Amino acid sequence: MSEKKMISIVTPCYNEEENIDELYQRIAAVMATLPYDYEHICIDNASTDGTVKRIKELAAQDKRIKLIVNARNFGHIKSPYYAIQQSNGDACILIASDLQDPPEMIVEFVKKWEEGFKTVLAVKPESEESSLMFFLRKSYYRLITKISEVALVQNATGAGLFDRVVIDILRNIDDPYPYFRGLLCEIGFPIATVPFKQPRRQRGVTKNNFYTLYDIGMLGITNHSKVPLRLMAMSGFFLAFLSLLVAFMFFVAKLLFWDSFQLGTAPILIGIFFFGAIQAFFIGVLGEYIGSIHTQVRKMPLVVELERVNF
């Protein structure tokens, strides 16, 4: 008889001590219903609570549990991407350790994989998070889909299944700071989607804040679209033409009404502040692209490991 295929399950962790036991149990229960061997890779981003200790206790009881401990917190973008590349399965599944990506979706991921899809992504057309945040996320996905050079999957959470072929391609790309959801679309394989309603976090505190959300939002734009740069160029031409037209109109008005026409300081001040704001905005956008180039050029490692368990 041929050996069973193996599925790697990756769960990035940072201060998820309260969720680890339930995460482990629910993944084990799901995999018990599937005809595959599996490994469960937890990558810890230098947690400050008892997350690492608890994972080590589980790993001592179950050799399918593997642990990578990062030397420091390398961020929510690099750490999962690195763990995926360390997987050994015929397919790799990425889900969040906070249980907002229900482990029961693994069954749906595997069904799509068995149908022949090399990439399967979870999408959330509905969510139990705050309505404002959900609206902002959907608006962002619509925006980036319209301006991206490749068709992106709207409302994708990043969770999903990736065939070994896809993992090998990701290893060869060698991107030190990837927008993972966009990178999967750039590879070009047909992508299956699994819709779900994202539940609220039950335990622990979300690690997302304004900076992390802004970081991944700008990363998606700078990595997959030149539209902002081209809008800057076109806006520059338009504003230069508008300025020339207004200047000519004022010049004519002054010639025709030499004694009565007074420009005043208000239009001058408004013009100075307006063009100053436009320049600051354009420089900021340009800086994001330069920062992205700087990150690529440095070629720093995705993660530096402190230790491994059960590898």
pLDDT tens track for 32-46? 999 999 999 999 999
pLDDT tens figures, 101-112: 899 999 999 999
Q: Give the per-residue pLDDT at 157.
A: 84
User: What confidence score (pLDDT) does residue 117 get?
Assistant: 94
Of residues 148 and 261, the one with the higher pLDDT is 148
pLDDT of 1 higher than 50:
no
Could you tell me the pLDDT band of residue 60, with boundaries at 50, 70 and 90? Answer: very high
For the chain, the three-class secondary structure string (H helix, E strand, C coil) is CCCCCEEEEEEEECCCCCCHHHHHHHHHHHHCCCCCEEEEEEEECCCCCCHHHHHHHHHHHCCCEEEEEECCCCHHHHHHHHHHHCCCCCEEEECCCCCCCCCCHHHHHHHHHHCCCCEEEEEEEEECCCHHHHHHHHHHHHHHHHHCCCCCCCCEEEEEEEEHHHHHHHHHHCCCCCCHHHHHHHHCCCEEEEEEEECCCCCCCCCCCHHHHHHHHHHHHHHHCCHHHHHHHHHHHHHHHHHHHHHHHHHHHHHHCCCCCCCCCHHHHHHHHHHHHHHHHHHHHHHHHHHHHHHHHHCCCCCCEEEEECC
Q: Please determine, for residue 133, whether its predicted confidence score (pLDDT) is greater than 90.
A: no
pLDDT tens digit string along 196-246? 887 776 665 666 666 777 777 788 888 878 888 888 888 888 888 888 888
* Average pLDDT of the chain, as a whole number: 86
